[in-house]
Amino acid sequence: MTIEERPSANGKKIYYRFVWGHGASDKMSAGIFTYAKPKTQVEKNHNKEALVLLEIKRSQLVIDRQAIGTGYIAAHRYKQNFLDFFEGYVKKNVRKGKRHLQSSFEHFKTFIGKKSLPPIEITEDLCQRFRNYLLDKFNGDTPMNYFSEFKRMVKAATKQGYYRYNPAEDVKAKAGKNRRLKEHLEVEEYLRLLNTPSLNEEVREGFILCCYTGLRWVDVKLLKWSDLGKDSIKTRLIQAKTGLPVVVTMHPVAKAILDKRKSRIKKQEESSNIFSLPTADGANKILTAWVNTAGVEKYITWSGARLSFSILLQDERVDTATVALLLGHSTTKYVNETYKRHRPKDQTAIIAKLPSPEKIGTNPIEPKSA
């Protein structure tokens, strides 16, 4: 590999590039220049430092090219402390109102128990131990959510060249042992909540809007006046095929809630949020109290609104492809696996379908004698 000098048009500076062949793709700018005739001490110092940096870059490029196809990753290609990479990934990818990624990072730091971790120590065994740590610490979907975010981060590191093979790929994210099936609302429970006031109208109206649109808590928390059309809501969800936002048609109840809020708020700036919701945990606590006041004897969380939206549409024989589209999914996978009815609406009617002795004229207690 050679270093080629190229003078500037006015001849005052010299630019450099690395050359290792005759093709256009065999040349790369070094991004470094020196003064052709340095006059001041500052220019002389610049030249001296630039030439040292030029040699360092050349050495790194030689190592990179020699490592192609070997699986070896040169030290200068990654952060020496993998926690720095994880933290940088969080800052670039965390979304407002999305807690799982940040929480995954915080719990990983606690699990590691030290301030520095070389990338080479991220092995399949360590990934398994971190997953088990989360399973021991949390119940329900929480360990699965946190570890899924961790896996996405390691996958990104692999794509950036930290690893030849993804060390977390074969470690499956799992839910905790006490995973609770999420409960949903039936039609009569919908109506009961509509007629029950809450101490926090922001939460009440936001939750009802989700029940009638299928939006998530974070969607409503970030919803702005500029997202509203005449009879529709433009969501933050992006359709995979078109790259355009998912647009949800508003039910009259959803439209009435937003019209009510608009009449109460004198000044609606296009960029301002429609709702002022507390944190997800805070919203769920208020929601629980409101649901209890309404006499709904179920454990309903905010995600229950989206689940109820899907189930009640399916009860009315809306096909799963349409439901998936309304939820912002490109396939019916999640509708068939997650957003479906897990419990019968009327258990008495279901049990009554079992064979009945009365239908064949036998005594249900005393069997016929032989």
pLDDT in the model for residue 347 = 67
Residue 189's contacts (CB-CB under 8 Å, 6 or more residues apart) are 294, 296, 298
Does 104 score more than 90 pLDDT? Answer: yes
pLDDT in the model for residue 293 = 93
- What is the rounded distance in angstroms from the CA atom of residue 80 to the CA atom of residue 100? 25
Is residue 107 within 8 Å of residue 134, measured between CB atoms? yes
- Taking CB atoms within 8 Å and a gap of at least 24, the contacts of 98-103 are 98/218, 99/280, 100/145, 100/146, 100/148, 100/149, 101/149, 101/153, 103/146
- What is the rounded distance in angstroms from the CA atom of residue 325 to the CA atom of residue 328? 5
Task: Pick the more confident residue, 39 or 279.
Answer: 39
pLDDT tier for residue 242 given thresholds of 50, 70 and 90? very low
Q: Is 238 helix (H, G, I), strand (E, B) or coil?
A: strand
Angle at 78 between CA 74 and CA 81, to 5 degrees: 120
- What is the rounded distance in angstroms from the CA atom of residue 328 to the CA atom of residue 169? 27
Which of 50-54, 79-83, 177-181, 240-244 shows the lowest mean pLDDT across its residues?
Answer: 240-244
pLDDT, one tens digit per residue, over 157-166 is 888 878 878 9
Does 64 score more than 80 pLDDT? Answer: no
Which of 44-53, 223-232, 356-365 shows the lowest mean pLDDT across its residues?
Answer: 356-365
